Protein backbone atom coordinates (compact mmCIF):
# COMPACT_ATOMS: atom_id res chain seq x y z
CA UNK A 1 0.00 0.00 0.00
CA UNK A 2 1.02 3.64 -0.47
CA UNK A 3 1.31 5.91 2.56
CA UNK A 4 2.71 9.43 2.64
CA UNK A 5 4.02 10.93 5.84
CA UNK A 6 4.35 14.59 6.73
CA UNK A 7 6.76 14.44 9.65
CA UNK A 8 7.74 17.26 12.01
CA UNK A 9 11.51 17.66 11.72
CA UNK A 10 13.34 19.87 14.19
CA UNK A 11 17.02 19.34 14.85
CA UNK A 12 17.05 21.04 18.24
CA UNK A 13 14.84 23.21 20.42
CA UNK A 14 16.73 26.30 19.26
CA UNK A 15 16.16 25.76 15.56
CA UNK A 16 12.80 26.16 13.85
CA UNK A 17 10.97 23.00 12.81
CA UNK A 18 8.90 22.13 9.76
CA UNK A 19 6.95 19.30 8.18
CA UNK A 20 8.89 17.17 5.70
CA UNK A 21 7.12 14.84 3.29
CA UNK A 22 8.13 11.19 2.89
CA UNK A 23 6.43 8.90 0.45
CA UNK A 24 6.74 5.16 0.41
CA UNK A 25 5.31 2.22 -1.45
CA UNK A 26 6.90 -0.29 0.92
CA UNK A 27 4.04 -0.13 3.39
CA UNK A 28 1.87 -3.15 4.04
CA UNK A 29 -1.29 -3.43 6.14
CA UNK A 30 0.29 -5.77 8.71
CA UNK A 31 3.14 -3.35 9.31
CA UNK A 32 2.99 -1.09 12.33
CA UNK A 33 3.31 2.66 11.97
CA UNK A 34 6.60 2.60 13.87
CA UNK A 35 7.90 -0.16 11.61
CA UNK A 36 7.07 2.08 8.67
CA UNK A 37 9.20 4.79 10.30
CA UNK A 38 11.98 2.19 10.73
CA UNK A 39 11.81 1.42 7.01
CA UNK A 40 11.86 5.09 6.05
CA UNK A 41 14.79 5.66 8.41
CA UNK A 42 16.78 2.82 6.85
CA UNK A 43 16.31 4.51 3.50
CA UNK A 44 17.35 7.91 4.89
CA UNK A 45 20.48 6.51 6.54
CA UNK A 46 21.63 4.69 3.44
CA UNK A 47 21.46 8.04 1.65
CA UNK A 48 23.50 9.65 4.41
CA UNK A 49 20.59 11.67 5.76
CA UNK A 50 19.69 11.93 9.42
CA UNK A 51 16.87 9.56 10.35
CA UNK A 52 13.65 10.74 11.97
CA UNK A 53 14.14 10.72 15.72
CA UNK A 54 11.27 9.16 17.66
CA UNK A 55 11.06 7.34 20.98
CA UNK A 56 9.87 3.76 21.34
CA UNK A 57 10.91 0.76 23.37
CA UNK A 58 8.63 -2.17 24.21
CA UNK A 59 6.47 -1.84 21.09
CA UNK A 60 3.62 -3.56 22.79
CA UNK A 61 1.90 -0.59 24.39
CA UNK A 62 3.03 -0.97 27.98
CA UNK A 63 6.25 1.01 28.54
CA UNK A 64 4.85 4.41 27.57
CA UNK A 65 8.00 5.48 25.74
CA UNK A 66 6.42 6.06 22.35
CA UNK A 67 3.87 8.64 21.44
CA UNK A 68 3.26 11.40 18.95
CA UNK A 69 0.32 13.00 17.23
CA UNK A 70 -1.05 11.27 14.15
CA UNK A 71 -3.36 13.52 12.15
CA UNK A 72 -3.95 15.61 15.26
CA UNK A 73 -4.80 12.66 17.51
CA UNK A 74 -2.50 11.58 20.32
CA UNK A 75 -1.34 8.02 19.52
CA UNK A 76 -3.40 7.98 16.35
CA UNK A 77 -6.91 6.88 15.49
CA UNK A 78 -7.49 3.82 17.72
CA UNK A 79 -9.20 3.87 21.10
CA UNK A 80 -7.08 2.18 23.77
CA UNK A 81 -3.90 1.86 21.73
CA UNK A 82 -0.48 3.46 22.02
CA UNK A 83 1.34 4.65 18.90
CA UNK A 84 3.33 1.41 18.68
CA UNK A 85 0.07 -0.56 18.50
CA UNK A 86 -1.22 1.26 15.45
CA UNK A 87 -0.99 -0.86 12.33
CA UNK A 88 -1.26 0.46 8.81
CA UNK A 89 -4.45 -1.50 8.25
CA UNK A 90 -6.08 1.36 10.18
CA UNK A 91 -5.38 3.72 7.27
CA UNK A 92 -6.57 3.97 3.67
CA UNK A 93 -4.31 3.21 0.77
CA UNK A 94 -2.83 6.48 -0.46
CA UNK A 95 -3.52 8.33 2.80
CA UNK A 96 -1.25 11.12 4.09
CA UNK A 97 -0.44 11.06 7.79
CA UNK A 98 0.76 14.10 9.71
CA UNK A 99 3.12 13.16 12.54
CA UNK A 100 4.12 15.74 15.12
CA UNK A 101 5.36 15.63 18.69
CA UNK A 102 3.19 15.87 21.80
CA UNK A 103 3.16 19.57 22.50
CA UNK A 104 2.93 21.11 25.97
CA UNK A 105 4.83 23.81 27.80
CA UNK A 106 6.03 21.24 30.32
CA UNK A 107 7.22 18.84 27.58
CA UNK A 108 10.20 20.59 25.98
CA UNK A 109 11.15 19.24 22.58
CA UNK A 110 14.47 17.41 22.22
CA UNK A 111 14.52 16.52 18.54
CA UNK A 112 11.94 15.77 15.82
CA UNK A 113 9.26 13.70 17.60
CA UNK A 114 11.23 13.23 20.83
CA UNK A 115 10.21 15.24 23.88
CA UNK A 116 11.26 15.48 27.51
CA UNK A 117 8.55 14.17 29.84
CA UNK A 118 10.55 14.19 33.09
CA UNK A 119 7.94 16.53 34.57
CA UNK A 120 5.77 13.43 35.03
CA UNK A 121 8.45 11.79 37.16
CA UNK A 122 8.63 14.91 39.29
CA UNK A 123 4.88 14.76 39.95
CA UNK A 124 5.27 11.19 41.24
CA UNK A 125 8.34 12.24 43.23
CA UNK A 126 6.21 14.77 45.07
CA UNK A 127 4.10 12.04 46.66
CA UNK A 128 2.98 9.27 44.32
CA UNK A 129 3.94 6.42 46.60
CA UNK A 130 3.27 4.65 49.86
CA UNK A 131 6.02 5.43 52.34
CA UNK A 132 7.05 1.95 53.33
CA UNK A 133 10.66 0.86 53.61
CA UNK A 134 11.81 -2.55 52.46
CA UNK A 135 11.27 -4.90 55.37
CA UNK A 136 8.42 -2.89 56.95
CA UNK A 137 5.69 -4.99 55.40
CA UNK A 138 3.27 -7.19 57.35
CA UNK A 139 2.09 -10.58 56.02
CA UNK A 140 0.43 -9.90 52.67
CA UNK A 141 -2.96 -11.46 53.43
CA UNK A 142 -3.46 -9.48 56.63
CA UNK A 143 -4.92 -6.72 54.50
CA UNK A 144 -8.29 -7.48 52.97
CA UNK A 145 -9.21 -5.54 49.87
CA UNK A 146 -12.64 -5.99 48.30
CA UNK A 147 -12.25 -7.25 44.74
CA UNK A 148 -14.15 -4.29 43.39
CA UNK A 149 -11.79 -1.79 45.00
CA UNK A 150 -8.74 -3.74 43.85
CA UNK A 151 -10.10 -3.66 40.30
CA UNK A 152 -10.76 0.08 40.45
CA UNK A 153 -7.25 0.66 41.79
CA UNK A 154 -5.88 -1.46 38.95
CA UNK A 155 -7.88 0.48 36.34
CA UNK A 156 -6.16 3.65 37.52
CA UNK A 157 -2.77 2.00 38.01
CA UNK A 158 -2.70 0.95 34.36
CA UNK A 159 -1.43 4.44 33.40
CA UNK A 160 1.76 4.24 31.33
CA UNK A 161 2.83 7.90 31.69
CA UNK A 162 3.02 8.45 27.96
CA UNK A 163 1.73 12.01 28.16
CA UNK A 164 -1.07 11.62 25.60
CA UNK A 165 -3.64 13.01 28.04
CA UNK A 166 -1.63 16.19 28.30
CA UNK A 167 -1.03 16.47 24.57
CA UNK A 168 -4.76 16.07 23.90
CA UNK A 169 -5.91 18.53 26.57
CA UNK A 170 -6.71 22.08 25.47
CA UNK A 171 -5.16 23.28 28.75
CA UNK A 172 -2.23 20.84 28.69
CA UNK A 173 -3.45 19.67 32.07
CA UNK A 174 -1.91 16.65 33.76
CA UNK A 175 -5.10 15.95 35.73
CA UNK A 176 -5.72 12.49 34.29
CA UNK A 177 -2.14 11.41 34.95
CA UNK A 178 -2.05 12.86 38.46
CA UNK A 179 -5.56 11.67 39.25
CA UNK A 180 -4.71 8.15 38.13
CA UNK A 181 -1.94 7.77 40.69
CA UNK A 182 -3.97 9.48 43.42
CA UNK A 183 -6.86 7.12 42.69
CA UNK A 184 -4.72 3.99 42.45
CA UNK A 185 -3.19 4.51 45.88
CA UNK A 186 -6.22 6.24 47.40
CA UNK A 187 -8.45 3.21 46.79
CA UNK A 188 -6.22 0.84 48.72
CA UNK A 189 -5.95 0.54 52.51
CA UNK A 190 -2.16 0.85 52.23
CA UNK A 191 -2.54 4.29 50.64
CA UNK A 192 -4.83 5.78 53.31
CA UNK A 193 -2.34 7.33 55.76
CA UNK A 194 -0.88 9.61 53.11
CA UNK A 195 -3.99 10.09 51.03
CA UNK A 196 -4.58 13.76 51.72
CA UNK A 197 -0.94 14.73 51.77
CA UNK A 198 -0.37 12.89 48.50
CA UNK A 199 -3.19 14.72 46.74
CA UNK A 200 -2.00 18.11 47.98
CA UNK A 201 1.59 17.56 47.02
CA UNK A 202 0.99 16.00 43.63
CA UNK A 203 -1.56 18.59 42.54
CA UNK A 204 0.78 21.37 43.55
CA UNK A 205 3.71 19.72 41.81
CA UNK A 206 1.73 19.45 38.57
CA UNK A 207 0.88 23.14 38.71
CA UNK A 208 4.51 24.04 39.44
CA UNK A 209 5.63 22.14 36.34
CA UNK A 210 3.47 24.37 34.19
CA UNK A 211 0.64 21.97 33.43
CA UNK A 212 -2.72 23.69 33.10
CA UNK A 213 -5.87 23.27 35.16
CA UNK A 214 -8.59 20.80 34.32
CA UNK A 215 -11.80 22.16 32.81
CA UNK A 216 -13.33 18.74 32.14
CA UNK A 217 -13.02 18.91 28.39
CA UNK A 218 -12.70 15.13 28.49
CA UNK A 219 -10.17 14.89 25.65
CA UNK A 220 -7.72 13.06 27.91
CA UNK A 221 -9.96 10.04 28.43
CA UNK A 222 -10.34 9.62 24.66
CA UNK A 223 -6.62 9.97 24.04
CA UNK A 224 -5.54 7.63 26.85
CA UNK A 225 -4.11 4.39 25.46
CA UNK A 226 -5.13 2.63 28.68
CA UNK A 227 -8.62 4.17 28.72
CA UNK A 228 -8.18 5.57 32.24
CA UNK A 229 -11.62 6.90 33.22
CA UNK A 230 -12.31 10.58 33.91
CA UNK A 231 -13.48 9.61 37.40
CA UNK A 232 -9.87 9.66 38.54
CA UNK A 233 -9.98 13.43 38.18
CA UNK A 234 -13.10 13.62 40.34
CA UNK A 235 -11.31 11.50 42.90
CA UNK A 236 -8.28 13.79 42.74
CA UNK A 237 -10.41 16.88 43.26
CA UNK A 238 -12.23 15.18 46.12
CA UNK A 239 -9.04 14.13 47.87
CA UNK A 240 -7.43 17.51 47.31
CA UNK A 241 -10.39 19.49 48.63
CA UNK A 242 -10.93 17.15 51.56
CA UNK A 243 -7.30 17.54 52.52
CA UNK A 244 -7.55 21.32 52.26
CA UNK A 245 -10.69 21.36 54.40
CA UNK A 246 -9.07 19.19 57.00
CA UNK A 247 -6.12 21.55 57.04
CA UNK A 248 -3.71 18.77 56.14
CA UNK A 249 -0.20 19.61 55.21
CA UNK A 250 0.00 22.42 57.72
CA UNK A 251 0.99 20.36 60.72
CA UNK A 252 4.37 21.44 62.03
CA UNK A 253 5.73 20.94 65.52
CA UNK A 254 4.83 23.90 67.72
CA UNK A 255 7.99 25.61 68.72
CA UNK A 256 8.04 28.10 71.59
CA UNK A 257 11.20 30.07 72.07
CA UNK A 258 12.46 29.52 75.64
CA UNK A 259 11.77 32.56 77.80
CA UNK A 260 8.67 33.67 75.87
CA UNK A 261 6.27 35.42 78.33
CA UNK A 262 2.62 34.29 78.50
CA UNK A 263 0.33 36.20 76.23
CA UNK A 264 -2.96 37.10 77.87
CA UNK A 265 -5.96 37.19 75.63
Partner 1 sequence: MHLDGKIPGGPLPQKWERRKFEYALVSPANRRKYRVLVVGTGLAGASCAATLGELGYRVECVIFHDSPRRAHSIAAQGGINAAKNYQNDGDSVQRLFQDTIKGGDYRAREGNVYRLAEVSLRIIDQCVAQGVPFAREYGGKLANRSFGGAQVSRTFYARGQTGQQLLLGAYQALLRQVQAGTVRISPRTEMLDLVVANGKARGIVARDLVTGELRTFVADAVVLATGGYGNAYFLSTYARNSNATAIWRAHRRGAYFANPCFTQIHPTCIPVSGEHQSKLTLMSESLRNDGRIWVPLRAGDERSPEQIPEAERDYYLERRYPSYGNLSPRDVASRAAKAVCDEGRGVGPSGLGVYLDFSDAIRRLGANVIAERYGNLFDMYAEITGEDPYRTPMRIYPAIHYTMGGLWVDYDLMSTIDGLFVTGEANFSDHGANRLGASALMQGLADGYFIAPLAVGSYLARAKPPAVDATHPAFEAARKDTAARIERLLSARGKRTAASFHRELGKLLWDECGMSRNREGLERALARIPEMRERFYREILIPGHGESLNRELETAGRVADYFELAELICRDALHREESCGGHFREEHQTPDGEALRDDEHFAYVAAWEWREGEPPALHKEPLVFEAAPPMQRSYK
DSSP symbol at 24? E
Which of 1, 4, 44, 73 touches partner 1 (CB under 8 A)? 44
CB nearer partner 1, residue 32 or residue 173: 32
Which of 18, 19, 132, 217 touches partner 1 (CB under 8 A)? 132
Binding map of partner 1 across residues 2-41, x = CB under 8 A, - = no contact = ---------xx-------------x-xxxxx-xx--xx-x
Q: Does 257 bind partner 1 (CB under 8 A)?
A: no
Q: Does 145 bind partner 1 (CB under 8 A)?
A: yes
What's the rounded Cα separation, in Å, for the pair 126 and 142? Answer: 29
What's the rounded Cα separation, in Å, for the pair 236 and 228? Answer: 13
**Under 8 Å CB-to-CB from 168, ≥6 apart: which residues?**
73, 74, 219, 220, 222, 223
CB nearer partner 1, residue 93 or residue 121: 121
For residues 147-206, which are near partner 1 according to CB under 8 A?
Answer: 147, 150, 153-154, 157-158, 160-161, 184-185, 188, 190-191
Which of 14, 21, 25, 48 touches partner 1 (CB under 8 A)? 48
Binding map of partner 1 across residues 106-125, x = CB under 8 A, - = no contact = ----xx--x-xxx-xx--xx
CB nearer partner 1, residue 125 or residue 215: 125
Which of 15, 23, 50, 93 touches partner 1 (CB under 8 A)? 50
Which of 3, 22, 33, 55 touches partner 1 (CB under 8 A)? 55
What's the rounded Cα separation, in Å, for the pair 167 and 75? Answer: 10
Kind and range of the H or E run holding 233: helix 231-246
What's the rounded Cα separation, in Å, for the pair 153 and 185? Answer: 7
For residues 74-93, which are near partner 1 according to CB under 8 A?
Answer: 78, 80-81, 85, 87, 89
Q: For residue 14, what are the CA distances in angstroms to 61, 112, 113, 117, 143?
A: 31, 12, 15, 18, 53
What's the rounded Cα separation, in Å, for the pair 38 and 116? Answer: 21
Q: Does 129 bind partner 1 (CB under 8 A)?
A: yes
What's the rounded Cα separation, in Å, for the pair 176 and 184? Answer: 12
Amino acid sequence: MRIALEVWRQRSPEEPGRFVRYETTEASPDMSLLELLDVINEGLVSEGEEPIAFDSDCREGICGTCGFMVNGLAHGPLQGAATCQVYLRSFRDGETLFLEPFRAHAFPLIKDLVINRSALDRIITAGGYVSVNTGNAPEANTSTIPKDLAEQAMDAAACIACGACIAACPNASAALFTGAKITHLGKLPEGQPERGRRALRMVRAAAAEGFGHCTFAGECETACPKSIPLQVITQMNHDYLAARLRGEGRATARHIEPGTPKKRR
